[in-house]
Structure 1
Amino acid sequence: MTLRGISPARASDGDWSELDHALVTTWSLDTLAVQADVLQQRGDPRGELMALDLNPKPEDRGWRRRRQEVLGTWLGAPLAALAGPLVQHGFIHALRDDRFHPPGLLDSPLGTFVRQYTVRGDEQALARLASRPRPWLVQLTFIPSGPTVRVSDTVRDALIATTPHLQELHLLGSRPPFDAIAHPAVRRVYVGQGRIPVSGSTLTVPDGVEVLGTPDAEGRRGPWVEDAELEFALEAVQEQPDGGQLEESYGADFATVGSLPALLARLRSAGLVTMDGPRVRLTTAGRVLRNLEPLRAPRTPSAPSDLGRWVLWAETRPSVGAPHSVPIKSLRGHIQWLDACLARAPLEKRVQDTLVSYRRFLIDTLVPAGEHEVRAFDASGPLAEAVETLLDLEDLDREFFPENNPLAHDGLGALEAALGSPLDPSPAFFHLVWGS
């Protein structure tokens, strides 16, 4: 797909029933049940999937087997296995462009049924979204990859044409990516509002559209979340793990953070909840954050005291182009950061194990090699996922990361960049340089 000549099909309301319109504007389990009956009468497997998810029995082996069969009929076995846990009632309620969501899902048949989408990137990222109709999309969060990202009128207009029911738009960053948007369905727009106003940071919208500021939006991975909102979301999941009931009972309480499904997607990336079709549950890390069980930090051997002035660098080796070297930080400081994360952060055991293995690699492999060799860490994929988990935890401003903690913007973003993107992963190699 290229930006030039983009001409997506306009999404039409012609085939939409009153039930469809009711569901896109207000989430209702009663309406969903009627829709499930209608689809089943038409022979559409989504109808049976909706009915199964309206009466979830994940502990029942027969229920799980039948659900997977229906998913396979609808999506095909490969996609059903990959994305099945994220499907709820025939929809993807909140999809994020990160390592914890299948990268090809937006372009799959499921991409039609995404209700909320969070994407990071440039104009191309929005062009990809606007390349086909998204009739169920009601909320979009765009996080530009840099302060200079701009979106052309062509892509903006294609986005308007393909999202006829978009109700809410979150534009994070220091300035909106376009100067004006006249979407006939959008009623609320959030724009980045940093501490220092940026020239061109205003956005022109039609009369009646509410424009609100998002505090400290620059560099964030989603709208600002207050501690009370996060705690309330985790408490709600603990009390009501049924995803459909959860949204119907508590959804209206999370408008300022995008929505409850959007927040749950962020909590999933932060390792605090897990999704299994219609069920949402707290992970061990989530239970630790709720003080339902203690933090069990792994034991690690003491770091050597003679690390001197070693500086850690990472090097990507893409299939096309020259290698790209990224300075991380001093080796001593980086290990202190790892130790702080392991000691304070609520992390799942697999994330802890990955960070412990990476720490061991730095001390036992890189230090003896000195400046003479570039070494690959043999678990770059799990390390990239662990780094993204930590970035999402940091973005939620949890108290286990004090202001003077080495985590704060100290090598974490550089390490993420060196490990590559989920769409174009590259192996990461590490080396040390003697410096100051």
Structure 2
Amino acid sequence: MNGSDWGELERSLVTSWNLDTLAVYADHLQQRGDPRGELIALDLRPSPEDKAWRTQRQALLVAWLGEELAARAGHLVQHGFIHALRDDRFHPPGLLDGPLGAFVRGYTLRGDGQDVARLASRPRPWLTSLTLVNQGDAPVSAAVRDALIGAAPHLQELQLLGRPAFDAFMHPAVNVRVLHPSHEAHGPFVLRTEVDLALDAVDETPDLGQLQALYGELFTDGDSLPALLLRLRAAGLVTLDGPIARLTTAGRVLRNKEPHRPRRARAVEVDSPKWILWAETIPERTPYLVGILSHQTRLIDQCLALAPLNADVQETLVAWRHFLTRLLVSDDAERLGLNDEAPLAGAVETLLELWDLLGRDLLTEDTDPSQLRNLDEALGPSSAPRALLFHLVWGM
């Protein structure tokens, strides 16, 4: 295959994802001695229960990415690409800056102009879909915008949430969609019926290649199916392992395939709304107002009783509820720290994603998720949460 034919094959695949075209692409990669070719061929015929299949897949990942990156991120690779990527705790930091960054097909970014500039700093020849939840105070500069357009020549869809990120976006082939203005959302608005359809599809067809071929065209109004699967994973409803997706216990509970087994946190009740929960970073002592303690404990109790949660998240919430009780019975001025903030940060992210996807279907009508958002802000990135000291103040 000469250079012109090879370029045409890649253009065909990037503009219209097709498993038959992907198989031809894999064959030609193998002829060129590229380990991605055999990796794609393996993922097109996944056999996750076969030890030999898993061993060979890992060996090909190491040959392509090196041992360290293959161990950190190999489970995110599907068919030699990353079909969807987000900057959350499920994705190791720095993936955009390494060899995988050139093979990202869809990306959801919560950030500002500096984060967009990092995305635009390297060629993204396979990037076809970008969702930007803009958290900056000003539009992205024209220079960064133009760099992004140059880095992603095959971009097809740009979804903008939050503050306007660009004054204009002059890409010749891009469909720009400006969605709802909430900067707190983790992605575009998703109907509960879409969540249910995606979960049932995973249960029926765990092979992600076949899943996209059969159901992908049904998810075009908000998130693509690969992007929605990332949100379902963050919500603890599915697991993703290379070319395979599966429902978790929480996902099966949500689809009434398993009974809900709630955990109870036996703890001191907090009746007074005068106790206010504060957090301080270590060692800077930057203060964060988390919220009213009685609201925090009621929210935990409701989540444990009603939300579809996996056992690890339930255990973390029970431990957090007991920690708040320790604060309540401690000396007024005493500041208590957690031994490890990572489980709490992960549980909070799971709850926020569940709220974003399920909304009022999740808890009672008077539930206020701002308590979770305040705690999430204090903890910082769940991939690297801050060390915190917590204490209570009587009154505001």
TM-score, normalized by the shorter chain, greater than 0.5: yes
Q: Distance in 2 between matches of 1:42 and 1:378?
A: 51
1:373 alignment partner, one of 325, 334, 346: 334
Q: Distance in 1 between matches of 2:94 and 2:56?
A: 25
Tell me how far 1:231 sits from its aligned partner.
1.0
Gaps of 5+ in 1: 1-12, 192-213
Contact kept, 8 Å, 1:377 with 1:429, in 2: the verdict is: yes
Q: Distance in 1 between matches of 2:353 and 2:6?
A: 37
How is 1:162-173 mapped onto 2 (pairs within 5 angstroms)? 162-173=151-162
Instruction: Indicate the SS of the match to 2:221.
Output: helix
Q: Distance in 1 between matches of 2:64 and 2:309?
A: 35
> Cα gap change, 1:305/1:431 in structure 2, threshold over 3 Å: closer, same or farther?
closer
Instruction: Indicate the SS of the match to 1:256.
Output: coil
Q: Which residue of 1 aligns with 2:316?
A: 354
Contact kept, 8 Å, 1:315 with 1:323, in 2: the verdict is: yes
1:124 aligned to 2:85? no
> Cα gap change, 1:423/1:227 in structure 2, threshold over 3 Å: closer, same or farther?
closer
Q: Which residue of 2 aligns with 1:29?
A: 19
How is 1:319-330 mapped onto 2 (pairs within 5 angstroms)? 322-330=284-292
Q: Which amino acid aligns with 2:381?
A: S
1:335 aligned to 2:324? no
1:419 aligned to 2:370? no
Q: Which residue of 2 aligns with 1:20?
A: 10
Tell me how far 1:425 sits from its aligned partner.
3.5
Q: Which residue of 2 aligns with 1:95?
A: 85
Q: Which amino acid aligns with 1:47?
A: G
TM-score, normalised to structure 2, is 0.95
Q: Which residue of 1 aligns with 2:230?
A: 265
How is 1:4-403 mapped onto 2 (pairs within 5 angstroms)? 17-146=7-136, 148-173=137-162, 175-186=163-174, 188-191=175-178, 214-215=179-180, 217-304=182-269, 309-317=274-282, 322-364=284-326, 366-398=327-359, 399-403=361-365
1:409 aligned to 2:375? no
Q: Distance in 2 between matches of 1:246 and 1:149?
A: 39
> Cα gap change, 1:128/1:216 in structure 2, threshold over 3 Å: closer, same or farther?
closer
Contact kept, 8 Å, 2:352 with 2:369, in 1: the verdict is: no
> Cα gap change, 1:379/1:425 in structure 2, threshold over 3 Å: closer, same or farther?
closer
Q: Number of matched residues?
A: 393
Deviates more, 1:148-157 or 1:47-56: 148-157
Q: Distance in 2 between matches of 1:219 and 1:74?
A: 37
> Cα gap change, 1:44/1:402 in structure 2, threshold over 3 Å: closer, same or farther?
same
Q: Distance in 1 between matches of 2:273 and 2:185?
A: 34
Q: Which amino acid aligns with 1:266?
A: R
Q: Distance in 2 between matches of 1:41 and 1:370?
A: 71
> Cα gap change, 1:252/1:313 in structure 2, threshold over 3 Å: closer, same or farther?
same
Q: Distance in 1 between matches of 2:94 and 2:313?
A: 24
Instruction: Indicate the SS of the match to 1:79.
Output: helix
Q: Which amino acid aligns with 2:235?
A: A
Structure that is richer in helix per residue: 2
Q: Distance in 1 between matches of 2:371 and 2:117?
A: 31
> Cα gap change, 1:185/1:375 in structure 2, threshold over 3 Å: closer, same or farther?
same
Contact kept, 8 Å, 1:358 with 1:377, in 2: the verdict is: no
TM-score, normalised to structure 1, is 0.87
1:134-165 CA-partner distances (Å, limit 9, x unpaired): 0000000111125x232101100000000000
Paired-residue identity, %: 57
Tell me how far 1:15 sits from its aligned partner.
9.5
Q: Distance in 2 between matches of 1:185 and 1:308?
A: 54
Q: Which amino acid aligns with 2:269?
A: P
Instruction: Indicate the SS of the match to 1:149.
Output: coil
Q: RMSD over aligned Cα, in angstroms?
A: 1.7
Tell me how far 1:306 sits from its aligned partner.
6.4
Tell me how far 1:307 sits from its aligned partner.
5.7
Tell me how far 1:323 sits from its aligned partner.
2.5
Contact kept, 8 Å, 1:92 with 1:110, in 2: the verdict is: yes
Deviates more, 1:73-82 or 1:366-375: 366-375
Q: Distance in 1 between matches of 2:385 and 2:20?
A: 43
> Cα gap change, 1:56/1:106 in structure 2, threshold over 3 Å: closer, same or farther?
same
Q: Distance in 1 between matches of 2:308 and 2:318?
A: 15
Q: Which amino acid aligns with 1:378?
A: N
Q: Which amino acid aligns with 1:181?
A: F
Q: Distance in 2 between matches of 1:299 and 1:369?
A: 22
Q: Which amino acid aligns with 2:189?
A: W
> Cα gap change, 1:394/1:127 in structure 2, threshold over 3 Å: closer, same or farther?
same
> Cα gap change, 1:14/1:302 in structure 2, threshold over 3 Å: closer, same or farther?
same
Q: Distance in 1 between matches of 2:306 and 2:140?
A: 40
Q: Which residue of 2 aligns with 1:202?
A: none
Q: Distance in 1 between matches of 2:149 and 2:28?
A: 29
Tell me how far 1:178 sits from its aligned partner.
1.7
1:348-390 CA-partner distances (Å, limit 9, x unpaired): 11111111111111112x1232322211112201111111111
Q: Distance in 2 between matches of 1:301 and 1:423?
A: 30
